[in-house]
Chain A
Amino acid sequence: MNFAIVVFPGSNCDHDAYHAVKHVLGHKAEFIWHKETDLKGADVVILPGGFSHGDYLRTGAIARFSPVMGSVKAFAAAGGPVLGICNGFQILLEAGMLPGAMLRNRELKFRCEHVHVRVEQTDTLFTVACRPNQVLRIPIAHGEGNYFATPEDIRRLEQNRQIVFRYVNAAGDVTDEANPNGSVESIAGICNMGRNVVGLMPHPERACEAVLGSDDGRVLFESVVMALAAGPVTAGSASA
């Protein structure tokens, strides 16, 4: 399996993703500079975490115009799996590939800690290997992860089962205390209608080895490998 990891100026979790995919999971991984347009035959595209363009203006607002994003959009439109982690999620929102926007964390603090998220959907390309309502312990590290969408958009996300991860406590319950940033409906991650584009604020790539405190994040990468092994993803399965 070939993973393409897009590198924007200011990405700083690109090597974490590379390490997880290549050294932990044993797949091929390649960095793609944001000025490139060739995804080099990637089966999966990862937009990693970091601070692209210094978070100037808004998180992800400038990265969305990078040349590589045209190719990423086309790849996603053809059903290709795209995972946006943290800043990658913010870029997907700014690019309009996922609905909603990010606000500063409710308490204005940069939160860097392990949290629990509950898997709400197990039929996205990045969660097929999860059990329904499985609770994952994964770290977050962000100052702007306060997910916002209008009430109409939230209704649409619910109806289309696009809310993929929610912040929960260790028991798997949604509580206000377990919500680290004030995200509406405790949303930690969502998918597109085609269920091939997933964005989340927590960092699964930093939770792939027990020695690092948790290997719960592996299941996202194992999911996409399992999904692709089951058959090629076709454009017909995806819609915006």
Chain B
Amino acid sequence: MRARVFVTLKPSVFDPQGKTIADALHSLGYGGVEDVRQGKYFELELSTTSSDQARTMASEVADKLLANPVIESYRIEVDGAK
């Protein structure tokens, strides 16, 4: 089963990379892009066939390694999950 983990900086944390990308888009004429936040995306291939177990494991590894809770939060999607 595949789990996808999206890690992003918390809204209160300044994102220098996102800001630079937004500035670049503005200079390309995309004034309608009001803000950009850059994050990380992980695909986890898991041996379990249970989406509940997949979600539990994904959030465990996100807590432990993939995200730094001081500055980041994460969201998980699991294949087949309703």
Binding site for B on A (CB under 8 A): 57-58, 61-62, 65, 93-94, 99-101, 103-108, 146, 148-150, 182
Contact = CB atoms under 8 A, between A and B. Distances in A.
B16 A57 contact: no
Given A62-B65, A146-B16, A148-B14, 4 more contacts: A100-B70, A101-B70, A103-B14, A182-B16
Give the one of B9, B14, B70, B71 with max A CB within 10 A.
B70
Nearest to B66: A57
Contact of B16 (A65, A93, A99, A104): A104
A152 to B, nearest CB: 11
A127 B80 CA distance: 57
Nearest to B67: A58
A106 B66 contact: no
Nearest to B20: A108
Contacts, number: 39
Contacts of A149: 70
Given A61-B65, A101-B68, A103-B71, A148 B20 contact: no
Contacts of B66: 57
B68 A108 contact: no
Interface residues of B, number: 13
B13 interface: yes
Give the 4 A-B residue pairs with the shortest CB-CB distance, closest first. Answer: A101-B70, A101-B71, A104-B16, A101-B68
A62 B68 CA distance: 12
Contacts of B12: 150
A148 B70 contact: yes
Contacts of B16: 103-108, 146, 182
B71 A61 contact: no
Contacts of B13: 103, 148
A149 B68 CA distance: 12
Give the one of A62, A105, A148, A182 with max B CB within 10 A.
A148
A133 to B, nearest CB: 29
Contacts of A93: 70
Interface string B4-25: 0000010011111100100000
Give the one of B15, B17, B20, B71 with max A CB within 10 A.
B71
12 contacts: A61-B65, A61-B68, A99-B70, A101-B71, A103-B71, A104-B17, A106-B14, A106-B16, A107-B16, A108-B17, A146-B16, A149-B70
Contacts of B20: 108
Contacts of B9: 103
A101 B70 CA distance: 6
Give the one of B17, B66, B68 with max A CB within 10 A.
B68
B68 A58 contact: yes
A99 B13 CA distance: 15
Contacts of B68: 58, 61, 94, 101
A36 B44 CA distance: 30
Interface in B9-59: 9, 12-17, 20
A101 B9 CA distance: 12
